[in-house]
């Protein structure tokens, strides 16, 4: 119960933050979304990035980087993703992440938004289910606990590195 309340409080703060335009001047002025090395955007909370970035504009700066993938796996474990998706991402109570099925599509942009917003808010943002996995349930809004956009990118880098599906469905 306490955890649930804490989660709600965090969510409320996040929503208020987004509504009150806490986006700093440097961010508001950013015309294109770039996560190039040293970009201040990497340190921003994922939910802020999702709110400011036009659909389809988010690209992972770390894909293919083995060191980032390793760091991503540590984050995958520490943020509790593994509790639902299994330590190797092969699924458990919840769908596998490393097979060739991508529920909403497998682009960097879609995965960043799904992980940050969770299923319900992703649906509200206009994304639709394109495939069915072995389990159909809502993904929680992990953006309320993940600190930095770079953490999400590292995790996605790891998911890509662990991919075991058919080559045609690899992103």
Closest by Cα among 25, 31, 73, 24 to 45: 24
Comparison of 41 and 103: residue with beta carbon closer to ligand HEC: 103
Which of 85, 113, 121, 160 is in the footprint of ligand HEC by CB under 6 A? 85
Whole-angstrom distance, CA of residue 163 vs CA of residue 81: 16
Shortest spacing between CB 133 and ligand HEC, in angstroms: 5
CA distance 26 to 39: 11
Give start and end residues of each alpha helix (H) in the chain.
Answer: 2-19, 25-28, 46-52, 66-78, 81-85, 108-124, 149-161
The 3-state secondary structure of 68-85 reads HHHHHHHHHHHCCHHHHH
Residue window 93-132: x/- pattern of binding to ligand HEC, with contact defined by CB under 6 A: -xx-x---xxx-------x--xx---x-------------
- CA distance from start to end of the chain: 39
Residue facing ligand HEC at closest CB distance: 81
Q: Which of 40, 56, 64, 138 binds ligand HEC (CB under 6 A)?
A: 138
The binder of ligand HEC chosen from 45, 61, 155, 160 (CB under 6 A): 155
Which of residues 41, 69, 81, 144 is near ligand HEC by CB under 6 A? 81
Report the 10 Å Cβ neighbour count for 93: 10
Which parts of this chain interact with ligand HEC (CB under 6 A)? Answer: 76, 79-81, 83-85, 94-95, 97, 101-103, 111, 114-115, 119, 133, 135-140, 142, 146, 155, 159
């Amino acid at each position: 119960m306490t955890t649930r309340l804490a989660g709600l409080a965090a969510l409320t703060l996040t929503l208020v933050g987004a509504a009150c335009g806490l986006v700093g001047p440097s961010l508001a002025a950013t015309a294109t979304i770039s996560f190039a090395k040293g970009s201040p955007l990497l340190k921003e909370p994922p939910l802020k990035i999702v709110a400011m970035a036009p659909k389809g504009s988010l690209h992972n700066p770390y894909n293919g980087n083995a060191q980032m993938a390793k760091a991503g796996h540590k984050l995958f474990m520490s943020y509790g993703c593994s509790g639902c998706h299994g330590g190797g991402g092969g699924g458990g109570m919840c769908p596998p992440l490393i097979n060739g099925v991508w529920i909403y599509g497998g682009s960097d942009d879609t995965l960043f938004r799904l992980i940050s917003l969770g299923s319900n808010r992703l649906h509200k943002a206009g994304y639709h289910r394109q495939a069915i996995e072995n389990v159909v349930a809502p993904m929680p809004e992990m953006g309320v606990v993940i600190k930095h956009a770079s953490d999400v990118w590292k995790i996605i880098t790891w998911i890509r590195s662990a991919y075991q599906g058919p080559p045609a469905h690899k992103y």
